[in-house]
Structure 1
Amino acid sequence: MSRRRALQSLALAGAAAALPRRTAAATPARRLGVALVGLGGYSTDLLGPALRLTRHCRLAGLVTGSPHKIAKWQETYGVPDAAIYGYDDIHRIADNPDIDVVYIATPNHLHKPLTLAAANAGKHVWCEKPMAMDAGEGEAMIRACRDNRVQLAIGYRMQHEPNSRRFMEMARTQPFGGIVQLRADAGWFGWRQGADDAWRLDPARGGGAMYDMGVYCVNASRYSTGLEPVAVRAWDETTRRDIFQGVDETMRFTLEFPGDITAACVTSFGRDLNTLHVDCERGWYELSPFQSYDGNVGRASDGTRFTAQLGASPRMQAEQMDQDALAILEARPPRAPGEEGLRDMRVLDAAFASARSGGERVRIAG
């Protein structure tokens, strides 16, 4: 069995072990109650509005470390007092049968403790990317969800986007021949500096471009090849050390895949970057932008055009949540289970180690 197939088998086995406890009563007609954990910009601007567009979900609770935000959410969505929790008492969510799933959209350092609390409360978990601070935390999250027989899905919204899924299929069918190399760049200049985003400059909370944007490059490189990288070289190219103290402003890294395929990647808080380009033996194809909230479009060397599919934001988040809800209701693995996030964490761990060494080649744990 190939390394790739073995990894896929392990992922499916792990996801299958996390099927819901009460599958007999679950039907696709049921709308799952979702509690949003973390009421920052992503929840406020995208997840909350997206829940109003979903067919299989509904907003059923709030978990926040910022009590001053609650009144506005209650005014907008009508969430009752009994369905509001803090980070310190999230365990009480076990007593609320209206909540089936928690969606964790907090700074990265809170992903593990909140996932463990939710899983131990018997709730399914949807967690934003990156899933954790390192692979060890990711393994603990997977184990907790498996032991409590709840699903863990990682918020890889691009894996629910039609053009990205078309790239996944092209990795399998290879319409332009074998893949030779690819490039994935993700970055945005002028990062948000509001109170909700201060953590992006804090190493203790998972700040920096690699955690925030680099994971798009890593995940896209993996799903565009259908392969797992074996090694990485990375270089921290931070120039504004007065602002980015202890976190990376810009990271350049190269992933090595089986078959001598390479992925050249750049992620940055100092440059606007948003392209996924795949070179093959007999042509090429790309998406640019490839990880925006909407309008992800592209082209190929034979004249093919990849047009936007889902409509305006937040349709992508609604599609993601609906697909993850159906996975629970139909008792099947989600598109991006915890094991998918864990593979990216192993790449990030190796990339950070390489960057600390000045770009030495580091093998990725398998």
Structure 2
Amino acid sequence: MSSRRDFLQKISASAFSLPFLSWASCTDNKSSQYQTQEGPVLRVAIMGLGSYGNRVAEAMQSCKRAKVAGVISGTPSKIKDWQSRYNIPDKNCYNYENFDRIKDNTDIDAVYVITPNALHHDQVIRVAKAGKHAICEKPMAINAKEGQEMVDACNNANVKLLVGYRMHFEPKTLEIIRMRKEGELGKIMFFQGLSGFRIGDPNQWRLNKQLSGGGAMMDIGIYSINGARYMVGEEPVWVTAQETKTNLDKFKEGVDETIQFQLGFPSGAVASCLSTYNMNFLDRFYLNGQEGFAELQPATGYGPIQGRTNKGELTQPHMTHQTVQMDEMAAIILDGKQPIVAVDGAEGVKDLKIIDAIYLAVQTGKKIDVKL
């Protein structure tokens, strides 16, 4: 988490100087695109060089359709390290104050925003105004209103906005979705999603409401929300929720420790889920139908995902999630490919509307209607 703290300390400091040259010799993106046998390569600048940014970049080394082409960071030493590791030229390096200049850089097609939740809104809108496609980590914003503003900004700029839903491309997950779609599980009745771990450093940004927008729900909890939707195959129409907080020093006002929540779907199916920062070994999805069941445990970790159904063990091979995600997102952006499960900004806004409803249900103790 020290890398995150470094980032947060640096983001408010004055901009450091980096050599920047616009590619005046390049007249259009297509002329400078790398080509492979599979097609053009999506050239990505990573914004936020913390632990997950590093994981994404390492995974992209195995991509066929995506390449790390630039960096955006508030820490000069990190930029120098990434330059040496990924052969990134000075002209493709930016800080948080000057990255709007990316507009003139035809060597970069998209920016992957991997920063604290509360920063996503402004940063994605700036990326859109610079004419670059945006990929944003989840949750896409701290509420549905901000998320919709991000979608609108990208639509107005005629650029794509995708959200880092890596599980939407995971083979065992997709096999369960296939089975459900083809009726092999029968009428879906129930989903359970358990998402949680014991969080450490109390001073990290994830426990700072101004940066995270909440607590466990704005981090690990979104997996059960999103998972309920793609596993059941419907959109919820109501939500109820209850909060438990045992450590008021660590989990201050507006920072949730544990929330249990329930979702109701038009068909009558229901979901019962748990989001927590105070329990380990919680990463399980269970889907029940009248003709069968499916279970994933672990369900959303970095892998390998393990799963079984009433027909036996799931045996689809493990592939590094972020490698698959970035190759698939390159195909979405460059080829117009339609994914099996949506990963666009509209998908992200739906999750945010549910999160808004969960927090409202906690505050009021009432069943909240949801309209997606």
Q: TM-score range by the shorter chain?
A: 0.7 to 0.9
Give deviations 1:256-279, integer Å, cap 9, x for gaps: 111211100001111120100011
SS, match of residue 44 in structure 2: strand
Q: TM-score by structure 1 length?
A: 0.88
Partner of 1:295: 304
Query: Are 1:183 and 2:192 counterparts?
Result: yes
Determine the C-alpha separation between the residues in 1 that align with 2:30 and 2:232. 34
1:263 maps to which of 264, 271, 283 = 271
| 8 A contact 1:295–1:308 mirrored in 2 | no
Matches within 5 A, 1:302-317: 302=311, 304-307=312-315, 309-311=317-319, 315-317=320-322
Alignment length (residue pairs): 337
Q: Distance between the aligned counterparts of 2:30 and 2:335, measured in 1?
A: 7
Match of residue 285 from structure 1: 294
- Relative contact order higher in (CA < 8 Å, ≥ 6 apart): 1
In structure 2, distance between residues paired with 1:221 and 1:23? 39
Aligned counterparts of 1:192 and 1:326: Cα–Cα separation in 2: 37
Correspondence 1:236 to 2:243: yes
Identify which range, 75-84 or 260-269, moves more after superposition.
75-84
Distance, in Å, in 1 between the alignment partners of 2:369 and 2:123 is 30
**Cα distance in structure 2, aligned partners of 1:150 and 1:123:** 6
TM-score (normalised: structure 2): 0.86
Structure 1 partner of 2:201: 193
Q: 1:319 aligns with which of 307, 324, 329?
A: 324
Give 1:133's aligned residue: 142
How far the C-alpha of 1:365 sits from its partner, in A, is 3.0
Q: For 1:274 and 1:322, how far apart are their aligned partners in 2? A: 26
Contact 1:23–1:331 (Cα < 8 Å) also in 2: no
Match of 1:3 in 2: none
8 Å contact kept, 1:23–1:330: no
Structure 1 residue identity aligned to 2:223? Y
Question: How much has 1:25 moved relative to structure 2?
Answer: 9.8
Structure 1 contact 142–339 (Cα < 8 Å) conserved: yes
1:77 partnered with 2:86: yes
Which amino acid in 2 is paired with 1:235?
Answer: Q
Match of 2:12 in 1: none
Report percent identity of matched pairs. 36
Query: Does the alignment pair 1:360 with 2:346?
Result: no
4+ aligned runs moved over 6 Å, structure 1: 21-27
Distance in 2, matches of 1:43 and 1:309, equals 24
Structure 1 residue 309 displacement after superposition: 2.0
Two-structure CA RMSD over aligned residues (Å): 1.9
C-alpha separation in 1, matches of 2:335 and 2:299 = 30
Counterpart-to-counterpart distance in 2, 1:348 and 1:23: 40
Residue 96 of structure 2 corresponds to residue 87 of structure 1 = yes
Question: Which amino acid in 2 is paired with 1:339?
Answer: A
Corresponding residue of 1:274: 283
Flag structure 1 segments of 5+ consecutive residues without an equivalent.
Answer: 1-20
State the Cα distance separating 1:64 from its structure 2 match. 1.2
Q: Hey, what's the Cα distance between the residues in 2 that align with 1:174 and 1:182?
A: 16
- Structure 2 unaligned residues grouped into runs of 5+: 1-27
Within 2, Cα distance between the matches of 1:117 and 1:320? 23
